[in-house]
Structure 1
Amino acid sequence: MPTILESDFENSRESMEYDVVIVGGGPAGLSAAIRLKQLAAEKGVEIGVCVLEKGSEIGAHILSGAVMDPRAIDELIPDWKEQGAPLNVPVAEDQFLFLWEGGAKTVPNWALPENFKNHGNYVISPANVTRWLGQQAEALGVEIFPGFPAAEVLYNDDRSVKGVATGNMGVGKDGEPTENFQLGMELHAKYTLFAEGCRGHLGRQLSEHFKLGKDADPQVYGIGIKELWEIDPAKHKPGLVIHTAGWPLEKDTY
């Protein structure tokens, strides 16, 4: 029996029409959705905006702590404090440590460049902030579809972007539909905004389609390793931000 390819189902996929489709339910995608709805309300018009998020829920793929400058959220949602945004721990102190295997040396704060000074910023959980942004977006009428990763960019006859399609679900390793098979959905839009991160698979498709890498320097990426530490509560100091450099990296490693 021949293998049934996912492409065999493309002609029978259902489609939905929106003014704007946003791929990626992170802070950038959700902020864009919120701002679009705000602008539409100011002009007294209705626009259809949807957000596709590959995670099982908004915030599920944002795994770290962070220090957040509130300037952008001040502009986007000026009354964010009254709305209950989870920015609750202002930065109280910055420390910069140069590490070696046996200890550390503290750099005095007056000697630090401005980018290491976080007065006025907040220690946050990006996952919680993103979930809150999702709630704000839904309250404005944005349709959010978690658990539906965009799998394919769709194009018009003139090669412009038409929208995206979600992947078929319930396809076995042999390429055959299983009893849980569910056909993907096409989402068409006047504008499609890709907010899937710095190296998303749709971004690679777009780069190849539009030759975005031609006559350009290659992009450079770093690998980030995130750990969650459980510490003695007696040693916890709310609002303390510690920057480190040195060990265990080699001296010639930036």
Structure 2
Amino acid sequence: MTPQQLLEQYGPRESMDYDVVIVGAGPAGLATAIRLKQLAAAADREVSVVVLEKGSEPGAHILSGAIMDPIALTELFPDWKDKGAPLKQPVTEDEFLFLSETGFKTTPHGLLPDCFKNHGNYIVSLGEVTRWLAEQAEGLGVEIFPGFAAAEVLYTEDGAVRGIATGNMGISKDGEPTENFQLGMELLGKYTVFAEGSR
């Protein structure tokens, strides 16, 4: 059956309304959710924010290692050290090598452009940082739904994005519904942010 036929036979889908729907619980999506909640709290307003994540948990689909400049984290949480952010290993040395078939040559540090200098940065597990950001977001009241991929973008009649729908569950390999079939859910928002990562 096509997705449209499934919807016609088993629909309508359940839906939930939010002020902001964010697709992707990576650093960008979570930082967006956190900042929205911070701004709302500063203006003494309520804003409902949901983050949808296809991985089993936030950070499950993140590259493992990275060098991180903490400037954006400091803007988001000036007290990130006190909050236990997993930035534990500062960069202690930079080395830039030119490799050849027979060996390598070291570039003098004075000749390195600024983008290759990591003084003040940290070597991190980006998966750990993402999980920590998710904890901070949930502490601010952000709802995070892991294990659900956004399968469809939903539009209004005039073509504006009105939210997303999660994928249907309980579909057999041949595309037919099984006894465990369940329609995806609609997450509708005044704003929808697509933070789907580097791909």
TM range (shorter): over 0.9
Distance of 1:157 and 1:34 partners within structure 2: 31
Q: How does 1:165-244 map to 2 (within 5 A)?
A: 165-199=165-199
Following superposition, the deviation at residue 8 of structure 1 comes to 2.3
Which TM-score applies when normalising by structure 1?
0.75
Match in the other structure for 2:76: 76
Which TM-score applies when normalising by structure 2?
0.95
Q: Residue 9 of structure 1: which of 6, 9, 18 is its match?
A: 6
Q: Percent identity?
A: 68
- Higher RCO (CA 8 Å, separation ≥ 6 residues): 2
Distance of 1:71 and 1:109 partners within structure 2: 23
Name structure 2 gaps, 5 residues minimum.
none
3-state SS of 2:35 partner: helix
3-state SS of 1:94 partner: coil
Distance of 1:105 and 1:181 partners within structure 2: 60
3-state SS of 1:74 partner: helix
Name structure 1 gaps, 5 residues minimum.
200-254
3-state SS of 1:29 partner: helix
Distance of 1:8 and 1:38 partners within structure 2: 42
Following superposition, the deviation at residue 174 of structure 1 comes to 1.1
Partner amino acid, structure 2, of 1:196: E
Match in the other structure for 2:37: 37
Larger Rg: 1
3-state SS of 1:38 partner: helix
- Give structure 1 regions of 4+ aligned residues with deviation exceeding 6 angstroms: none
Per-residue CA deviation, residues 146-187 of structure 1 (Å, 9 max, x unaligned), is 000001000001110010000101111211112332210001
3-state SS of 1:93 partner: coil
3-state SS of 2:32 partner: helix
Match in the other structure for 2:104: 104
3-state SS of 1:164 partner: strand
Root-mean-square deviation (Å): 1.0
Partner amino acid, structure 2, of 1:76: L
Partner amino acid, structure 2, of 1:99: L
3-state SS of 2:6 partner: helix
Following superposition, the deviation at residue 102 of structure 1 comes to 2.6
